[in-house]
Amino acid sequence: MDNKKMICLDLDNTLILSDKTHIEAYNRALNYFGYEKYDQHCLIKLFGRPKIEIANVLMPEKNLKEQKEFLKMHDKFLTTRTYKYAKKVKGVDFVLKKLKKHYIIAVVSNTVHESIIYLLKGSKLNPNYFDLVLGSDEVKNSKPCPDEILKAKKLLHHKPEYMVGDSIYDLIAAKKAKVNGIGVLTGHHSKKEMMMYKPVVVLKSIADLPKFLKIG
């Protein structure tokens, strides 16, 4: 492992397609608390932000404690019902097998750890590809803060060479952590939006990563 470089990967819409998973979980949670469903197109625009910011948009009149309870209900619905909607990004297994030969791989996500495990299960993505999985509940501040990347660095004793993600928040976190950012267009931010944060490259999807990294 010591001879390998390190790479951090986002999960949602980078390795797996999870919009439906989260949309259903959020709307079930809203219904549980007596709210109407939130328009899915508006909800998608919030994805990638810290979850507490999403809760503040969906339930602005509630206090922090109540918003956290709402997020716990989202996680409960995800881990018991909606995780099954997660799908792998095309070609992700091929990519991870190649990466594994050359890199220490850490997943750093704004999803809580338990939900990550269920999303991997639902998408049938093998967790053994990863040397570390870090969720938002395992750091003080989630992306766009750099805490997840910095904790991965500390735990794996390597400085990440790249942070790969589908949102501007991944790229902001990379910049704050002084790590090279790589954008992928399988989420909801355009290439133009991503280029504002000076990534080293924006790829169509994770499937293009081995070619960029020149690994066989």
Tell me: do 57 and 142 sit in the same domain: no
pLDDT digits 0-9 by tens, 167-185: 999 999 999 999 999 999 9
What pLDDT sits at residue 3?
Answer: 80
Among the three residues 84, 99, 130, which one is the final residue of a domain in this structure? 84
- The CATH number given to whatever domain includes residue 51 is 1.10.150
Q: Give how many domains the chain has, as a whole number.
A: 2
Shared domain for 207 and 101, answered yes or no, is yes
One domain for residues 137 and 167:
yes
Tens of pLDDT, residues 19-71:
999 999 999 999 999 999 999 999 999 999 999 999 999 999 999 999 999 99
pLDDT digits (tens, 9 = 90+) for 144-154: 999 999 999 99
Of 84, 118, 139, the last residue of a domain is 84
Q: Are residues 35 and 134 in the same domain?
A: no
pLDDT at residue 74, as a whole number: 98
| 54, 104: one domain | no
Range 156-162 contact pairs with CB under 8 angstroms and sequence separation of 24 or more: 156/6, 156/104, 156/106, 156/131, 156/132, 158/4, 158/5, 158/6, 158/104, 159/6, 160/6, 160/7, 160/8, 160/106, 161/5, 161/6, 161/7, 161/103, 162/7, 162/8, 162/200
What is the domain range of residue 157?
A: 5-17+87-213
